[in-house]
A and B are shown apart, each in its own frame.
Chain A
Amino acid sequence: MEIFPVMKPGLLILSFVQEVVPNLIVELALRGPVTVLDGGNCFPAYRIAQLIRRKSTQVDAISKRIFIRRAFTCHQMLNLLETSAALSQPHVLLDPLATFLDDQIKPSEAGRLFTLCLQHIERIQLSAPVAILLKSVIPAEKEFLLTNLCERADEIFAHTAPGQPREQQLDLFQGL
């Protein structure tokens, strides 16, 4: 499943497939700095480190190219995007809608805030590719958030391609 080749500046790529994202982050890190904005508290730190090790012996150096920032509320999510400079490094957003699903946030308010978020994503997109992983199940009254996002996407990955072997290598000792 190859997202990586599709990542080019100016493009917004969505993925509903979780498994590809750690690999994507690592492939990007092998080539340069990458920013990960985690809105779903799901950044798999050790998994990423393991993946780096499978592809390189320079775990320390490469891990230093991955910059993580987390948001735990939708207001923090907006602030994350507001304060993200439009650098040329690729951005990977993990489950950015998760924080908007809080019961306390009304759909209208969620819509308003997310629209502002989308504007910033567009701004970042101009200089670097942006990939978004979608994970959380969205309740009906907030589904429009997902629809808005999908409308803006240049590519959407929804299923694992058939015939791909599932990665399940025991990689505890690889390259030790």
Chain B
Amino acid sequence: MDEITGWLMDVYDHPQSGIVLWVIADTGQRLRLLMDFPITFHAAGDFKLLRAAWSFLKGRAQLARVKRRDLFLGERDVMQVTLDENTTLLRDLQTQFPEIDYYDADIPTSLRFIAQTNVHLLGRCRLTLRHERVLDIQPLDSPWQLTPEAIPLRIMELAPNTDPTFRKPGRLKVRMGRREYFLEMEPLRPFLISLQSDLSRFDPDLILTEHGDGWLIPGLTEWARSSGLPLDLNRDRERGIQTRKANSYFAYGQTIHRGAQSHLFGRWHIDQRNAMLFNEYGIEGVLEQVRVTGIGVQDMARKSPGAGITAMQMTTALRTGVMIPQHKQQAERHKTLADLIRADKGGLIYQPIIGVHKDVAQIDFASMYPGIMVHHNVSPETIGREDAGQGLIPQSLQPLLEKRLKFKELLTSLDERDCQYGIFKSRSAALKWLLVVCFGYLGYKNARFGKIESHERVTSISRDLMLQAKETAEDMGFEVIHMYVDSLFVQKEGLRQKQDFEPLLRAVTERIGIPIMLEGIYRWVCFPPSRRDARIAVPNRYFGVLTDGSVKYRGIEARRRDVPLWVKTIQLEILKQLAKARSLDEVPARLPEVDQIVLRARRDLRNGLVPLEELVVVQGLSRALEGYKSPSPAARAAMQLRSAGIDIAPGQFMRFVFVRGKERVRVWELGLEPKMVDVKRYYAILERAVDGLLCGFKRSEVVTPVFWGRAAL
């Protein structure tokens, strides 16, 4: 018997029985270990059906009659089934007996493992081994630590020199640690031999690629096979590479495209081009999410944060003895017409006062919705019950919320130049994303424990809290300029420094119980009116200059994906110019320079001096090409690609430039010349963007002359 300590990297099913664990030992060895791991699930429902299911399973699994808790139905008599081997028995059972309610039947193995052993993924642990068999495993740290011991990961990066969708790459950039070099991909044999040599010598834990999911990994596998050469992408030689197909689906009101995936065993593969939010928080963020959710690295990098929240709920359920239903869902309890109108609302949105305002503080509640869920114990099973203990959802969220708040505090006290700052920032951002989606997963239709009443309770409480915050501010003499779900813009004559707003923050936090923090103080902030009618305000659209001179903006062109870079750059230049005004009174003096910026921009465009890349518009294809009655610009672009032999799925993004003539758009990848550009169209886009900024300075309202506005429209 041996005892070792190290980090747990991954857990997955062994093809026959039990699980495979990958551990980075403190000795530096990467170990593949095996562990017995029986899987238990439960079945409930019609007694006759259960009896038949029992007969079906007899001799092939361990069976027992037990009482277990359904979150909504309370204690239920269920059949407990324990499988020692990883066979298709469960699937066969479900095909034979679809009418049975199945519980705990589709839980990811890593979550079962974590609930049972308390060892979390990427956590430090102590293992008792006999050869490669794990007899015992003990956790040595907690996922809620802010600064876990850093894992000595070996990362290999692979990137082709061109985008394989449009042009066949000729070289592969390889980076391992500090070394970086280029491998010619032809001729094939030396290329594969060289890559294999790197793989075995460097033995990476993580292969970070570009275009790996859909092209490089499947490609390498195929080329190695047809050349008869070894290529050990997997460390686990007993497994092949797991591939998943690409698909498009409709969710959250839009068509989303998920690319193909290539998963490795024994090491991780992440394709930077196919990883969710990788730009937001990078590998440190992904690892942090894995730590707290229990979803494996390769899955977490590709899935939306919602999967992480579901995983946390499942783990909490497993730990507290609540059965996790596979399909069964609770429908809404009845509401009268008045009940429905009262309940079916979103967050509180207060129309902004149009125009420019000076010395305005933006104060935000930290993670408001999760805060409400925890603080007010909002959970599907606690609705309407005063005496309920802490609900499942708050229980699963509380440690996450606390860790995020601790990170936020830590970051405010750290210097930005501290070498740890970047890592903490990524981890904090990763947790923020988990929290941001957890609200949707309260009522989300595919949530395991979803109930729309809990969703409605949270928004109801949030609206009330916002009104309380407004009252507190107004009681203290502030004017509330704008409110948006969890954020307030407040102003009081004479107040313009951080300390000035502290009494307000304290008062609100005390009254409401959820921390509210100062996001920033604007020297001036502008809420531009609607383009439709200058008397109509637009929520959550603003731009302004903070006290440190930096510019902040929301809802304007500079934020939008479908606006060309050229326009965004000009808008930002104008903003910077306006930001030079140290106070609102100095702004008019900046306007002539702004006019110059616009004139120069138009001249550059006219004379073909704008790099074509900056004129590219990015727009998603919302449906299959056949579904368009009159094609959108994105659809036109997709049609051009299709004629060139490249197929595009709904949800994918088109990159194109507006051109003169009947063509209207030219897809970027097919190339174009400067003289083709539809200059007038770009003038119009620019004008809209510029006007959007300046109109706020031309109009403002103190008391509204709404009805008799000057005829100068």
Q: Do chains A and B touch in the complex (CB under 8 A)?
A: yes
Which A residues are within 8 Å of any B CB, using their own CB?
A: 35, 43, 45-46, 48-49, 60, 63-73, 75-77, 79-80, 83, 103-104, 109, 112, 116
Q: A69 and B335: CB pair below 8 A?
A: yes
Identify the closest chain B residue to A48 (Cβ).
B337
- How far is it, in angstroms, between the C-alpha of A68 and the C-alpha of B244 when the chains are bound? 41
Q: Which 9 A-B pairs have the closest CB atoms?
A: A63-B337, A80-B331, A72-B445, A67-B334, A75-B329, A79-B331, A76-B331, A73-B445, A76-B329
**B341 contacts the other chain (CB 8 A):** yes
Q: Shortest distance in angstroms between B328's beta carbon and chain A's nearest beta carbon? A: 6
B712 contacts chain A at the CB level, 8 A cutoff: no
CA distance A79 to B633 in the complex (A): 43
A sample of 26 inter-chain contacts (CB < 8 A) reads A35-B334, A43-B340, A45-B341, A48-B337, A49-B341, A63-B337, A67-B335, A68-B334, A68-B337, A69-B331, A69-B333, A69-B335, A70-B331, A73-B329, A73-B445, A75-B327, A75-B329, A76-B331, A76-B332, A76-B445, A77-B331, A79-B328, A79-B331, A80-B331, A103-B249, A116-B99
Given contacts A71-B331, A112-B99, list 4 more A-B pairs with CB under 8 A.
A49-B337, A72-B445, A76-B330, A79-B328
Chain A residue nearest in CB terms to B325: A75
Closest A residue to B334 using CB positions = A67
Among B98, B328, B335, B338, point to the contact of A75 (Cβ < 8 A): B328
Q: Whole-angstrom distance between the alpha carbons of A135 and B633 in the complex?
A: 30
B102 vs chain A, min Cβ distance (A): 12
Cα(A71)–Cα(B330), bound, Å: 9
Inter-chain CA distance A45–B344, complex, in Å, is 10
B337 close to A69 (CB less than 8 A)? no
B446 at the interface (CB under 8 A from A): yes
Q: Are B249 and A83 in contact, with the CB atoms below 8 A?
A: no
In whole angstroms, what is the CA distance A60 to B452 when docked?
A: 24
What separation, in Å, do the CA atoms of A103 and B98 have in the docked complex?
A: 19
In the bound complex, do residue A70 and residue B336 qualify as a contact, i.e. CB atoms below 8 Å apart? no
B340 / chain A contacts, CB cutoff of 8 Å: 43, 45, 68
Residue in B249, B328, B335 whose beta carbon sits within 8 Å of that of A68 in the complex: B335
CA distance A67 to B337 in the complex (A): 7
Q: Is the CB of B336 within 8 A of A79?
A: no
Q: Give the distance in Å from the alpha carbon of A76 to the alpha carbon of B443 in the complex.
A: 12
Q: Is the CB of B328 within 8 A of A63?
A: no
CB-CB < 8 A to B330: which residues of A?
76, 79
Please indicate the chain A residues that have their CB under 8 angstroms from the CB of B336 in the complex: 63-68
Give Cα A69–Cα B451 distance, bound, in whole angstroms.
Answer: 12
- Let me know if B338 and A64 touch, CB within 8 A: yes
A4 to B99, CA, bound (A): 36
A63 to B327, CA, bound (A): 34
CB contact list, B240-258 vs A, under 8 A: 249-250
In the complex, chain A residues whose CB is within 8 Å of the CB of B327:
75
- Contact residues in A for B335 (Cβ distance below 8 Å): 67-69
Smallest CB gap from A37: residue in B: B331
- Please state if A70 and B452 are interface contacts (CB–CB under 8 Å): yes
Question: Cα distance A68–B337 when bound, in Å?
Answer: 7
Q: Give Cα A104–Cα B336 distance, bound, in whole angstroms.
A: 32
CA distance A75 to B446 in the complex (A): 10
- Per DSSP, chain B at the interface is loop
Q: Which of B312-342 contact A (CB under 8 A)?
A: 327-341
Shortest C-beta distance, B245 to chain A (Å), equals 14
A12, B382: Cα distance in complex, Å: 37
Tell me the residues in window 459-476 of chain B with beta carbons closer than 8 Å to chain A beta carbons.
none
**What 1/0 mask marks residues of chain B from 378 to 414 whose CB sits below 8 Å from any chain A CB?**
0000000000000000000000000000000000000
Question: Shortest distance in angstroms between A22's beta carbon and chain B's nearest beta carbon?
Answer: 12
Distance of A69 from chain B, by nearest CB (Å): 5
Shortest Cβ gap from A139 to chain B (Å): 13
Write the chain B residue with the least CB distance to A29: B337
Least distance between A120 CB and chain B CB atoms (Å)? 12
Distance (whole angstroms) from the CB of A102 to the closest CB of chain B: 9
Chain B residues positioned under 8 Å from A80 (CB to CB): 331-332
Determine how close the nearest CB of chain B comes to the CB of A173; give it in whole angstroms. 20
Q: Within the complex, what minimum Cβ distance (angstroms) separates B612 from chain A?
A: 38
Q: Is the CB of B329 within 8 A of A79?
A: yes
CA distance A74 to B21 in the complex (A): 38
What is the CA–CA distance of A40 and B336 in the complex, to the nearest angstrom?
18
Q: Please give, as numbers and ranges, the residues of chain B lying within 8 Å of A46 by CB-CB distance.
A: 341
The smallest beta-carbon distance between A58 and chain B, in angstroms, is: 13
Q: Chain B residues near A83 (CB, 8 Å)? A: 331
A31 → chain B closest CB, angstroms: 16
Are B98 and A112 interface neighbours, CB within 8 A? Answer: yes
- The CA of A70 and the CA of B250, in the complex, are separated in Å by 20
A104 CA to B446 CA, complexed, in Å: 11
Q: Which residues of A contact B331 (CB under 8 A)?
A: 69-71, 76-77, 79-80, 83
In the assembly, what is the distance between CA of A68 and CA of B445, in Å? Answer: 18
Q: Which residues in chain B, 331-368, are within 8 Å of chain A measured between CB atoms?
A: 331-341, 344
Chain B, Cβ-Cβ closest to A52: B337
Q: Are A63 and B338 interface neighbours, CB within 8 A?
A: yes
Q: With the chains together, A35 CA to B335 CA distance in Å?
A: 10
CB-based nearest B residue for A62:
B337
Question: How far is A48 from B336 in the complex, measured between Cα atoms in Å?
Answer: 12
Residues of B within 8 A of A72 (CB): 445, 452
Q: Closest Cβ of chain A: how far from B448's Cβ, in Å? A: 11
Closest beta carbon of chain A to B354's beta carbon, Å: 27
A51 to chain B, nearest CB (A): 11
In the bound assembly, the distance between CA atoms of A97 and B113 in angstroms comes to 39
Chain A neighbourhood of B337, CB < 8 A: 45, 48-49, 63-64, 66, 68
Give Cα A116–Cα B46 distance, bound, in whole angstroms: 14
Most buried by A among B98, B331, B445: B331
Closest to A116 in B: B99
The chain A residue sitting closest to B335, CB to CB, is A68
Query: Closest approach, in angstroms, between the C-beta of A165 and any C-beta of chain B?
Result: 27
B577 to chain A minimum Cβ distance, whole angstroms, is 47
Q: What is the CA–CA distance of A21 and B5 in the complex, to the nearest angstrom?
A: 68
What distance in Å separates the Cβ of B519 from its nearest Cβ neighbour in chain A? Answer: 34
Docked complex Cα distance between A135 and B334 (Å): 22
A109 to B327, CA, bound (A): 11
Shortest B400–chain A CB gap in Å is: 26
In chain A, what residue has the closest Cβ to B338? A63
Chain A neighbourhood of B334, CB < 8 A:
35, 67-69
* Most interface-central of A49, A71, A73, A77 (chain B CB within 10 A): A73
CB neighbours of A77 from chain B (8 A): 331
Q: Say how far A54's CB is from chain B's closest CB, in angstroms.
A: 15
Give the distance in Å from the alpha carbon of A64 to the alpha carbon of B342 in the complex. Answer: 13
Q: A70 — which chain B residues lie within 8 A by C-beta? A: 331-332, 452
A102 to B387, CA, bound (A): 38
In the complex, A160→B478 CA distance in Å?
A: 58
Cα-based distance from A67 to B333 in the complex (angstroms): 9
Give the Cβ gap from A110 to chain B, nearest Cβ, in Å. 12
Distance from B30 Cβ to chain A, minimum over Cβ atoms (Å): 37
Question: Which residues of the partner chain B approach A79 to less than 8 Å between Cβ atoms?
Answer: 328-331
Bound-state CA distance A65–B337 (Å) is 8
Cβ–Cβ < 8 Å partners of A75 in chain B: 327-329
Please measure, in the bound complex, the distance between the C-alpha atom of A69 and the C-alpha atom of B340, giving whole angstroms: 9
- Which residues of B sit under 8 angstroms from A109, Cβ to Cβ? 98
Which residues between 216 and 275 of chain B lie within 8 Å of chain A, taking CB atoms?
Answer: 249-250
- Closest CB-CB distance, B455 to chain A, in whole Å? 11
Q: In the complex, which residues of chain B have a beta carbon less than 8 angstroms from the beta carbon of A116?
A: 99
- Provide the bound-state CA to CA distance between A55 and B489, in Å: 45
A60 to B98, CA, bound (A): 45
Q: Mark B208-221, 1 if CB is under 8 A from A, else 0.
A: 00000000000000
B98 / chain A contacts, CB cutoff of 8 Å: 109, 112
Q: How far is the CB of A157 from chain B (nearest CB, A)?
A: 24
B residues in contact with A67, CB < 8 Å: 334-336
